[in-house]
Amino acid sequence: MDYFFVLLFSGLAVLFILGGIILSYLIAPHRPNRIKNTPYECGEIPLGSAWIQFNVGYYLFALLFLIFDVEAAFLYPWAVILRVVGFPGLLEVGIFLLVLILGLIYARKKGALEWV
């Protein structure tokens, strides 16, 4: 019996999602036209196809940004409890930063930071 609620929960979860989709399909009116079918792009009229190649530099920048974003997010809580964790904490964060700096050096040397 312990697992009855797990079963109930799973069933409800499936029902909820399927129910929503089916219900909207049944109730909503279907009158498509060209304007309705265009992709939404912040209110602008879209130019050309959405299936175009982006400059790979975007991805590199995005990745690097993500890494340093996470780094910052990690440093905030550490800074808050710096006095509690003391010197060993400082050392560990030092190692953490060192690894990231090595990565940055690698990225810089490989030319990942230059926009081409």
Site residues for other proteins per CB under 8 A = 2-3, 102, 105-106, 109-110
d(CA 71, CA 74): 5
d(CA 97, CA 71): 8
User: C-beta of 102: minimal distance to other proteins in Å?
Assistant: 6
Query: What are the tokens at 97?
Result: 């930063």
d(CA 55, CA 60): 10
* Residue 80 one-letter amino acid: V
- Give the nearer residue to other proteins in terms of CB position, either 29 or 88: 88
User: C-beta of 110: minimal distance to other proteins in Å?
Assistant: 7
- Give the nearer residue to other proteins in terms of CB position, either 6 or 27: 6
User: C-beta of 16: minimal distance to other proteins in Å?
Assistant: 21
